[in-house]
């Protein structure tokens, strides 16, 4: 884990307890909504892998998993606006009830691209479960069915979210102090 005295670690935005409590609530909601229709969870790598792991255990249904890797950030802290699929799905989505599991929604551009791409694969249904939505960055209502938290526009790390592949293992979310030495 990152050192507690790391100057890059700013204020805690969400504690481990807050995150786990909300995931339990989302798991119950998805269990109720998908009774009799076990969903396929599609994690958007790498950030959502920690969230999907905990979310899957909170859903009291048989679920399946698949993974996609999409890049719009590179190693920067701001999206480039250019989306590319780095790793595609292994499973066929035709007739499946798909829940895309996202770590954080920023502008919504990547999500809109992903939805169009997946909808073209003919799933029976397609919803999104996002742990975080960064407030004030979306131009349109994104129609998200499952949202963990809405957070301020600061850049956050931890619980799967990183900067240049670091800090994903923090059990909480905190502000990233980019200018700290």
Per-residue pLDDT reduced to its tens digit, 95-104: 999 999 999 9
Domain assignment present for residue 73? The answer is yes
Burial status of residue 83 (CB atoms within 10 A of its CB: 0-12, 13-18, 19 or more): middle
Q: pTM of this prediction?
A: 0.89
> What residues act catalytically?
106
Domain assignment present for residue 4? The answer is no
- The yes-or-no verdict on residue 151 having pLDDT over 90 is yes
| Count of C-beta atoms within a 10 Å radius of residue 18 | 15
Domain assignment present for residue 97? The answer is yes
Where residue 128 sits, what CATH number does that domain have?
3.40.50.2020
Average pLDDT over residues 161-176: 94
- Look up residue 67 and give its two tokens: 């993974």
Domain count, the chain: 1
Domain assignment present for residue 111? The answer is yes
Contact (CB, 8 A) for 170 and 159:
yes
Domain assignment present for residue 62? The answer is yes
> Residue 137 — very low, low, confident or very high, per pLDDT cuts 50/70/90?
low
């Amino acid at each position: 884990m990152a050192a507690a005295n790391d100057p890059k670690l700013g204020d805690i935005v969400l504690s481990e307890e807050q995150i786990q409590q909300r995931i339990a609530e989302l798991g119950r909601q998805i269990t109720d909504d998908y009774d009799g229709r076990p969903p396929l969870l599609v994690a958007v790598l790498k950030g959502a892998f920690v969230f999907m792991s905990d979310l899957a255990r909170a859903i009291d249904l048989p679920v399946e998993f698949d993974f996609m890797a999409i890049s719009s950030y590179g190693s920067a802290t701001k999206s480039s606006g250019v989306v590319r699929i780095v790793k595609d799905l292994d499973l066929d989505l035709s007739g499946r009830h798909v829940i895309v599991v996202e770590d954080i929604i920023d502008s919504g551009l990547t999500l809109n691209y992903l939805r169009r791409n997946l909808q073209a694969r003919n799933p029976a249904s397609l919803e999104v479960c996002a742990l975080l939505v960064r407030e004030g960055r979306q131009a349109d209502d994104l129609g998200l069915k499952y949202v963990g938290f809405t957070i301020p526009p600061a850049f956050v790390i931890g619980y799967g979210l990183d900067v240049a592949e670091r800090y994903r293992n923090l059990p909480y979310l905190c502000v990233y102090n980019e200018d700290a030495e």
